[in-house]
């Protein structure tokens, strides 16, 4: 029996070696196929020349000397810290000075210590944390034009006219209104003598990037918003946990979940 077994093992090893060689040969041949080679120019999707030009210019220090403010607003969602980290580090890579605004729109209106200059290390070891390390708050004052004027003043004083908004429907709607009113707000600040003519001419427009951070998953243009996947997992875990109690007591449990109009 032992001799038969010892004779069987080398034969099996030989078979495995032959299979390995066949796979290696197939892999080498596949590198010669068209699928793994550079496609011909005519097979690429034709891009608008202006867009292609901008895409080719995404390089280190492209926006050197510029400033950008990043903040989280509204209800927190898991993944906001990851978005914050990516935004800060990409801004640094592009040569910009990133600012983190604590407590969302409330911090933008109040100014002062709510504006924090960010470094590469400022967002280290946060990607795995839930919620947002810079805080989030709803701001009734920002809903009024006077509050938005205060926010515009605080931004201009720090040479900022670029925003990255990480939030849901209300946060992004507020950012869009702020963008539309920006020119008028600066005209009022200039008339009141709070900013100079040079500042008014330098910061003509407000540039906004919206990152949808919301457990509601109710935003068009994206299959899954930041935080929605984690929220669904937590819901299914809670349902699985409570089901055993329902079976034990022969009762029907109704579980309510959040999610605006989607919940």
Do strands 97-101 and 67-72 pair parallel, antiparallel, or not at all (unpaired)? parallel
**216 counts as catalytic:** yes
Q: Can you tell me which residue has the tokens 């329902």?
A: 246
Residue of 125, 127, 80, 102 whose CA lies nearest to 225: 80
Q: Can you tell me which residue has the tokens 């801004």?
A: 91
Coil, strand, or helix at residue 263?
coil
Q: Pick the catalytic residue: 187, 216, 218, 240?
A: 216
Q: Which residues form the catalytic set?
A: 216
């Amino acid at each position: 029996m032992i001799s038969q077994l010892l004779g069987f093992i080398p034969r099996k090893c030989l078979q495995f070696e032959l299979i390995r060689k066949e796979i290696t040969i197939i892999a080498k041949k596949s590198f010669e196929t068209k699928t793994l080679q550079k496609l011909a120019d005519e097979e690429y999707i034709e891009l608008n020349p202006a867009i292609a030009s901008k895409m080719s210019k995404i390089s280190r220090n492209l926006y050197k000397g510029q400033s950008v403010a990043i903040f989280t607003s509204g209800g927190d969602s898991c993944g906001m810290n990851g978005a914050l980290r990516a935004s800060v580090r990409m801004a640094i890579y592009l040569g910009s000075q990133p600012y983190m605004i604590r407590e969302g729109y409330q911090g933008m209106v109040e100014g002062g210590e709510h504006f924090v200059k960010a470094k590469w290390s400022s967002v280290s070891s946060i990607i795995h944390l839930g919620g947002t390390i810079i805080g989030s708050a709803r701001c009734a004052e920002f809903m009024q034009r006077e509050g938005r004027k205060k926010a515009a003043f605080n931004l201009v004083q720090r040479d900022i006219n670029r925003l990255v908004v990480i939030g849901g429907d209300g946060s992004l709607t507020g950012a869009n209104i702020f963008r539309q009113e920006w020119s008028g707000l600066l005209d009022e600040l200039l008339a009141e003598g709070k900013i100079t003519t040079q500042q008014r001419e330098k910061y003509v427009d407000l540039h906004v990037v919206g990152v949808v951070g919301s457990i509601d998953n109710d935003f068009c243009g994206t299959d899954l918003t930041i935080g929605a996947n984690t929220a669904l997992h937590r819901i299914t875990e809670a349902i699985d946990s409570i089901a055993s109690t329902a079976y034990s007591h022969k009762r029907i449990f109704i579980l309510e979940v959040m999610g605006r109009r989607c919940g």
